[in-house]
Amino acid sequence: MAISFEQLSKIINYQFKDTGLLHQSLTHKSYTSEQTVKVEDNERLEFLGDAIIGSCVAEELYKLYPDYSEGQLSVIKSTIVSRNFLAVLASEINLGDYIQLGFGEKKAGGHKRERILANTFEALVGAMFIDSGYRTVYSFIWSIIKPKLSNISQFMLNQNFKNILQAFSQKYYGKLPKYHTTSEEGPHHEKKFTVEVTVNGTVAGTGEDTSKKKASLKAAEQALKKLNILIETS
């Protein structure tokens, strides 16, 4: 489909001075590989946008939550800059409708893929940064993130607790959490498993359920609560 710069500019409330940057930010590598002339894809802009988003989010969270610890701020930040959250932001501005994809990727529904949406959002931010600078990007990002801050905790709850705990443990202790099945009771069709999770050498949570996987998730959830990571941001 042809890209309507005017329509997209209205959606994001920003008019690019250099529309070539906007065009590049929306160009997936699958599209460039099918062109007979050289066309720049958005991967370099994606790299830049990733760093800019992280900086903007860190700055604003530091201001918004003066009583939060570094660990709490870091977990909120990691949630906001995660692929699935950025994909949600991209969907909010209908970014998928404007991405230039190769024939095969388009046919496979690439404009709805989480990775492509998130990466393109990062590229758009990178292009905007080059076009107008940090403060313009800052305003754009927070105009769409702030309304969602009250739901960040719920968004975190919908994620895999083990993934959140792993990211936290790796960042602050340089090691992975360790899960250990402490008991396995009941007949085969009614098994009950108890799992403990250790963070930095200390038992941080215990979970009990009908499978090791479910028990591990409960243990991770308990650990996150004990570590005061699952916090409210409203």
CA–CA gap between residue 132 and residue 15 (Å, rounded): 10
Band (pLDDT 50/70/90 cuts) for residue 231 is: low
Same domain, 133 and 175: no
Nearest residue to 198 via CA among 211, 213, 180, 212 = 180
**Full domain range(s) for residue 188:** 161-226
Helix and strand tally (H, E) in the chain?
12, 3
Q: What is the pLDDT of residues 186-215, one digit of tens each?
A: 888 788 999 999 999 999 999 999 999 999
Give me the catalytic one of 122, 131, 196, 221.
122
103, 134, 157 — which closes off a domain?
Answer: 157
Give the per-residue pLDDT at 2.
47
Band (pLDDT 50/70/90 cuts) for residue 7 is: confident
Number of domains in the chain: 2
Tell me which of 12-21, 38-47, 223-232 is least confident: 223-232
Give me the catalytic one of 41, 50, 60, 221.
50
CA–CA gap between residue 218 and residue 220 (Å, rounded): 5
CA–CA gap between residue 117 and residue 82 (Å, rounded): 12
50 tagged catalytic: yes
In a domain, 65, yes or no: yes
> Tokens 């939550």 identify what position?
65
Q: Is the pLDDT of residue 51 over 60?
A: yes
